[in-house]
Amino acid sequence: MTSMKRVVPVLSVILLLILLGTGTVLSMNIAIAQVDASVQDIILRDDAFHGRGKFPFIEWWYFDAKFDNGYTVTVGIQILNILAKGIVNTRLTIYNQGVVVLKNYEKHSFRDLSASTETPSVNVAGKQLIVGMYDTLSDCFVYDVTVSTSDGAVSLHFVGCTRGWKRQQQTGDWWAVVLPRANVTGTISIGDMTMNVTGTGYHDHNWGIGPRIVLRFGWFWGTCSSSNYSVTWAEVSTTRHTQHPIMVVNKKDGGYLDIPSEMIWFSAKNICIDHFKCVPRFFNIETMTDKVFLVINMEVISVDHTKFLGFIDYWRYHVKCTGTIIADGHMETVDGVSIMEYLRFR
**String of DSSP letters for 69-102:** TSEEEEEEEEEEEETTEEEEEEEEEEEETTEEEE
pLDDT bracket for residue 141 (50, 70, 90): very high
Whether the CB-CB separation of 133 and 145 falls below 8 Å is answered with no
Question: What single letter denotes the amino acid at residue 282?
Answer: F
CATH of the domain at 108: 2.40.370.10
| Number of domains forming the structure of the chain | 1
**Confidence (pLDDT) at 217:** 87
**Confidence (pLDDT) at 83:** 66
The whole-number average pLDDT for the span 64-87 is 91
Whether the CB-CB separation of 233 and 249 falls below 8 Å is answered with no
Residue 273 has pLDDT above 80, yes or no: yes
Measure the CA–CA gap between 73 and 129, rounded to whole angstroms.
14
Range of the domain at 117: 2-344
Task: Count other C-beta atoms under 10 Å from residue 32's C-beta.
Answer: 26
**Confidence (pLDDT) at 247:** 96
Task: Count other C-beta atoms under 10 Å from residue 271's C-beta.
Answer: 12
Distances (CA, A) of 117 to 26, 45, 62: 21, 7, 17
DSSP 158-206: EEE-S--EEEE-TTS-EEEEEEEEEEEEEEEEETTEEEEEEEEEEEEEE
pLDDT bracket for residue 264 (50, 70, 90): very high
Residue 32 has pLDDT above 70, yes or no: no
The whole-number average pLDDT for the span 16-40 is 41
Average pLDDT, the chain: 87
Question: Mapping DSSP to helix (H, G, I), strand (E, B) and coil, where does residue 261 land?
Answer: helix
